[in-house]
Amino acid sequence: MSLSPSIERLNERIDFLQSRYGYRRLDADSFVGFIAEPGAALILFADDPAKVPETWDLTVILPEAVERAGALVRVGILAPEAARTLAPRYGIRIWPALLCLRDGQYLGTIEGLKDWSAYVRLLPELLAAAASRPPGIGIPIMDANASSHCH
């Protein structure tokens, strides 16, 4: 199966980030092991740059923003297919997105492309945040055994 030119270009960029900065290319399976490792992790949820051009921009901003964050953090990149599969687990709805975890625990996300200075400010805040429950995807969950009225 032939990849679209934009996905091929994204794959080349991920290869560059991997060789230059040690970022890890993740798929749905390797993601599980990556987040299980101890310490802070930042994961880029990428989309096809032909559909979401901001994905490309974030791959350019990311290395300097991570460096400026001043913390030891592992960085992984999920290509579009895996990112779409895993996004609901963390309530991610806007692309591209950065997910921040510590010891596999959710710290927060930055969704959509932000100004470079926002990443410089937000990444240290996320990395220092207390772990919390990931947000849902906005679908209310009802107990089938609960009564339908309040009291």
Q: What is the pLDDT along the chain (151 residues), one digit of tens a residue?
A: 678 999 999 999 999 999 999 999 999 999 999 999 999 999 999 999 999 999 999 999 999 999 998 878 999 999 999 999 999 999 999 999 999 999 999 999 999 999 988 999 999 999 999 999 998 755 555 444 544 444 4
Measured distance CA(111)–CA(125) in Å, rounded: 15
Amino acid at 106: Y
pLDDT value at position 71?
77
Q: Is the distance from CB of 109 to CB of 97 less than 8 angstroms? A: yes
**What pLDDT is attached to residue 57?**
95
In angstroms, rounded to a whole number, what is the distance separating the alpha carbons of residues 66 and 68? 5
Say what the pLDDT of residue 3 is: 84
Residue 2: its pLDDT value, please?
Answer: 78
3-state SS, residue 131: coil
Residue 77 tokens read as 């990149």
Q: Which residue, 104, 125, 118, 115, is CA-closest to 38?
A: 104
> pTM of the full predicted structure?
0.87
User: Which DSSP category does 114 fall into?
Assistant: -
Q: What is the pLDDT of residue 66?
A: 94
Q: CATH number of the domain at 5-128, please? A: 3.40.30.10
Q: Which two structure tokens, joined as six digits, stand for 81? A: 């297919």
> Is the peptide bond between 38 and the residue preceding it cis, with omega within 30 degrees of 0?
no
